[in-house]
Structure 1
Amino acid sequence: MLALISVLAAVLIVGAAFFWRLSRGPVTLAFLKPTIEAEINKNFSGLSVKLDDIVIERDADSGVPHLRLQNVVLADASGALLARAPRAAIGIDEAALFRASIVPTTLELIGPRILAKRNLDGKIELGFGSRAAGADEVVDLEPAPIDDSKADRQGSAAQVAPAEAGSIIDVLAGTGSQTAMSSLGDIKVTEASIQLLDEANGATWFAPDADLQFKRTAYGFIVLAQAKIASGGEPWRLEGSITYRKEQRNYSVSASIFDLVPANVSDEIFALAQFAKVKLPLSGHAEAELDSKGRVIKASAELAAAAGEVGLPDYLAQPIIVDEGTLRADYDPATGGAVISETSLLVGGSRAQLTGRLDPIRAADNRLEAIKIELSARNVNLDAQGTVKDAVAVDRIDFSGRAATDEARLEIDDLIVMSGNAGVRLRGRFTGGNESAGIQIGGRVRDVNAVLLKKLWPPIIAPKTRKWVNDNVIAGRVTDGEFRVDIAPDELAASLRARKLADKAIDFRFGLADVTTTYFKTLPAMQKANGTAVLTGDSFAIAIDRGEVTMPSGQTIGVQSGSVKMTALLAVETLGDFAFKVKSQAQALLEYANWPDLKLVDSTGLDASRLSGDTAADIRLTMPLIKGLPRDRVQVTVAAGITSAEFKKITGNIDLSDGDVKLAVGPEGTAITGSARLNGIPANISWKKGKGKGAIQSATLTTKLDDKQREKLGVKLG
């Protein structure tokens, strides 16, 4: 009994010591390595397995001890690498143990680094990372961080050893002479970091944490996979299966996609990564069939879009807010592209319908050079300002162009925006720069109303003029026009710093009709205005042919001609100059001049309510276009001629008639000069008043009077 207790105590002490040692790290069983390696190889005829060590280690999550093989290398009969992993576990046939044989039934590769490379010719190669640390070394089981740039990922490809994908597939499928793994019904790959490099399409995908399970079937094998894909932003998730049929030697892929953001996976394509960032989380299902050479036979995807945005460069527009959407894409084997159908996006309360196609443009060596894009949208709510509160309904948008993949360039072959009879059509290109893109576009506009013009006007094109148009132009339309923008890469950023854009950078000339606009504070709006406009890089000018201003009294001021000029469009203060030639009845002009924001008549001290006559005037307002404009920074000049003037009781009992007078209002004050009849007597009149409160007034009346006329005017001498 004492002996038994001693044995148990010894076992407990040894067990405690073992578990204490195990808590400090893996425990090596190197003495078993030759035996186990030989037994495994005996049952893997045609293949060879090499081990660095055999250890017992505790599971990181459960703490349960597991037997692990370290630095496993699997090669075929010729010595070609098939697989490599820093750790592995095998399941064995228990019945075979009674025959003193180790027959593997399952194999688990733990933590391998795998590179899958699709060459320009479509051939697939696999590679495996370098060996893991030894049993007495510290092992970092987390995959090494990988920069998300394509150059760094491609550079890491040289650090892995290549393997023939065809050989691995033959082994998994059990075809030809590769029957060595026929005893394995299940192969797992866990905690793997997988990198896929597609040379033909210039694409790189990285899954830092992936699990794969290979199941042998009578017709081939099935691979079940789940992985998180790192692609610049938040990782997206992929779950699916790959079925291989050895007789047909083809693959069927079925995948579920979760939270894929296109802008994050297209970082190397200027048109998608910088020009139009599609930040819509996509989830759904995709299926594909591939032949033995990795060529796609057919493929389709149906995805649902959650709320997000299409981010445009801030010099073009604010992001387009998308509430939700659906997308269907089908592979076109004739071109190798994708056909977009049954696609819709909910924007601004309206569901836009989208169709089109994306086709690859390849070089002679099959390398992807560009993507040809053809898109057509119907029933679109458009707003370049980023808000959907006042979006404009657009009947159709048709786009065709090419997005380069080998350089930062988007070619617009044709872009048409139509809303009823109104339309914009342009072509040109956008090219990448270090600070700002280059813009070379030209086009035409036709019958575009003010509302649509405001929505289409890019924020960077004369931003203060754009703001003035948004704030002041109430209605009207652009009858026709032509525009050209020629801004070199980085020129825009430099111009914003210098606060000046060269005039030649922008040339937009257009006609205007039926315009209703304000121009200074609460002054009555000009209506029914026609004219032409010219916008350049540093100036904006409108030549007005005609228009009218209706005063609250109902009287009308006719605008015979006029001009609006804005200069230094990017400066801290843009100067605005508004000049109009008008005709009206005297009371209409006086009502305008005495508007609360001007108060030109009240300052004279005259009660002009009894004045009548025909008036022709030049009115000019000069001011900086700034927020909270103070009145003292507004210069107003008026030069008016009044004919057939009458002024009842201009002073005392004297009536003025048959007047032909000039009125001048400017920085120096107010002056009235001219000729008239005073109680029927011809006279010359001159009246002046300086500017400002309490300014000195002076008046001169020149006439020839006899005694009777003096008495008529009430003038007494001596």
Structure 2
Amino acid sequence: MIRRTAKLLAWTTAGAVVVVGAAGGLFAWRLAQGPIALDPLTPYVERALSDPQGRYRVDVGQLVLSWVDEEESDGLTRLDLRAIDVHAVNAEGDELAAVPELGVGFSVRALFQGKLSPTRLDLVRPRLQVVRRADGSLDFDVRSLPAPGQPEPQEPDGGPDFAGEIVSTLMQPPDIARPLGLLRRLTIIGADLTVTNRMLGLSWHANRADIVLTRDGTEIVGGARLLLDLDGRTAAVEASGVHRMADAETALSTRFDGLQPAALAKIGPLLAPLSAVTVPLGGRIDATLDSRFEPVRFSFDLQGGAGEISLPALRPAPYRVDRLRLRGGLDVPGRRAELERLDLALDGMAMAGRGDLREQGGQRSGSLRLDLTADGTRASLDV
């Protein structure tokens, strides 16, 4: 009797495994043919993404279940819920934001409480514009890339800032009572990014930007990979940062290699003098930003290869640069700049130096020491 029961149980288990395996294989085969539409669930997702107070609502063109490839999922292929053709509109029906594709993850804990609360948003291939206005305020705008023949989207006009509200939500501790209050991760994949700083008269563009922002209860950790469009040349830049909620201070680090300073000259008049420098640079720039994301402290460590520096006021022919190393920093509130290391080799001459510059009470003071070596002769200069 026991043997017969055990045999029956074994056959039942084996049958269940076969059925589950076949169902799983059929499901995987169906996904391989293309996304599975989940249109009956669309109203629930729209409601979860919309503002309960009615300030804005989110419209989803189509909701699908699909495989996400490695490029869009941190190197791992995963099953994902994707909203297609997503638009956020205000109470009057005016568009506030739009993305061609939006990945969404939800809180399991909130589901047990009867709520559909997003914990992850993936914005796929949007056009993102960030504007620092003349008064120092920041404005964010997210749109779909225009179809051929359609006009280019305009810069944010100071109206309702849907994208900025998402960023603002990330900068606060999680709270299930707020719209998107449980959002912990915002990912922007393959964005066309434009940044405009009207305070400084600067504007730059990245053909592709991949950005990840992750928060816990005390801080936001971010990372980005950018392909900058600099006068027809592409430069790769990586950045990482941490925003602390307690003091609203942000530590930012940027790394790059093979960046031509002359290519930065067209970003704005402030950088126009860099047109004289055609030396490929690599290294890092670290910055501390205050609550308004304005710089408080800078530090830099740069290395340059072979190139040229043009100084027509000194001589018609450009100076040939063999190597360059610069390390220093800037304390904005303390009004102090420091050059920790200068190592420059040009036209057969080597130059090493260090110095600082301060401003206090409207008066400037500083020091500079240069060590020059040319044709075996060395000289020092203190200024």
TM-score of the two chains, using structure 2 as the length reference: 0.69
8 Å Cα contact 1:354/1:378 also seen in 2: yes
Alpha carbons of structure 1 residues 279 and 49: separation in structure 2 relative to 1, 3 Å: same
Alpha carbons of structure 1 residues 350 and 310: separation in structure 2 relative to 1, 3 Å: same
Give the equivalent residue in structure 1 for 2:256.
Answer: 257
Give the equivalent residue in structure 2 for 1:33.
Answer: 42
Alpha carbons of structure 1 residues 218 and 65: separation in structure 2 relative to 1, 3 Å: closer
Matching of residue 68 in structure 1 with residue 87 in structure 2: no
8 Å Cα contact 2:174/2:183 also seen in 1: no
CA distance in 2, matches of 1:186, 1:103: 13
CA distance in 2, matches of 1:274, 1:55: 51
8 Å Cα contact 1:71/1:87 also seen in 2: yes
What count of residue pairs does the alignment treat as equivalent? 347
SS in 1 for 2:317: coil
8 Å Cα contact 1:243/1:251 also seen in 2: yes
Structure 1: segments with no counterpart, 5+ residues: 1-8, 134-139, 145-154, 360-373, 383-389, 399-718
Alpha carbons of structure 1 residues 93 and 232: separation in structure 2 relative to 1, 3 Å: same
Deviation of the 1:342 alpha carbon: 1.6
Give the equivalent residue in structure 2 for 1:296.
Answer: 295
CA distance in 2, matches of 1:343, 1:208: 34
Equivalent residue in structure 1 for 2:154, among 128, 134, 158: 158
**Structure 1 residue identity aligned to 2:171:** A
Equivalent residue in structure 1 for 2:171, among 173, 194, 198: 173
SS in 2 for 1:235: strand
% identical equivalent positions: 23
Give the equivalent residue in structure 2 for 1:246.
Answer: 245
Deviation of the 1:279 alpha carbon: 1.8
Give the equivalent residue in structure 2 for 1:198.
Answer: 197
Give the equivalent residue in structure 1 for 2:277.
Answer: 278
Deviation of the 1:121 alpha carbon: 2.1
Matching of residue 111 in structure 1 with residue 110 in structure 2: no
**Structure 1 residue identity aligned to 2:138:** I
Higher deviation after alignment, 193-202 or 350-359: 350-359
SS in 2 for 1:264: helix
**Structure 2 residue identity aligned to 1:204:** S
8 Å Cα contact 1:212/1:224 also seen in 2: yes
Matching of residue 90 in structure 1 with residue 104 in structure 2: yes
Alpha carbons of structure 1 residues 319 and 214: separation in structure 2 relative to 1, 3 Å: same
Give the equivalent residue in structure 2 for 1:535.
Answer: none
8 Å Cα contact 1:272/1:278 also seen in 2: no
CA distance in 2, matches of 1:157, 1:72: 16
CA distance in 1, matches of 2:258, 2:329: 20
SS in 2 for 1:125: strand
**Structure 1 residue identity aligned to 2:208:** D
CA distance in 1, matches of 2:335, 2:93: 37
Q: Deviations over 1:33-77 (max 9, x none)?
A: 223323555999997533232245665778987542123345899
Deviation of the 1:117 alpha carbon: 1.1
Give the equivalent residue in structure 1 for 2:60.
Answer: 51
Deviation of the 1:171 alpha carbon: 0.7
Query: What RMSD over aligned residues (CA atoms) do the two structures have, in Å?
Result: 4.9
TM-score of the two chains, using structure 1 as the length reference: 0.40
Alpha carbons of structure 1 residues 256 and 33: separation in structure 2 relative to 1, 3 Å: same
8 Å Cα contact 1:257/1:284 also seen in 2: yes
Larger RCO of the pair (alpha carbons < 8 Å, separation 6+)? 2
Alpha carbons of structure 1 residues 271 and 123: separation in structure 2 relative to 1, 3 Å: closer
Alpha carbons of structure 1 residues 124 and 275: separation in structure 2 relative to 1, 3 Å: closer
Alpha carbons of structure 1 residues 348 and 159: separation in structure 2 relative to 1, 3 Å: closer
CA distance in 1, matches of 2:218, 2:171: 8
Alpha carbons of structure 1 residues 187 and 349: separation in structure 2 relative to 1, 3 Å: same
CA distance in 1, matches of 2:185, 2:153: 28
Give the equivalent residue in structure 2 for 1:669.
Answer: none
Alpha carbons of structure 1 residues 45 and 218: separation in structure 2 relative to 1, 3 Å: farther
CA distance in 1, matches of 2:174, 2:92: 15
8 Å Cα contact 1:125/1:164 also seen in 2: no
Give the equivalent residue in structure 2 for 1:126.
Answer: 140
SS in 1 for 2:266: coil
8 Å Cα contact 2:126/2:145 also seen in 1: no
Alpha carbons of structure 1 residues 395 and 110: separation in structure 2 relative to 1, 3 Å: same
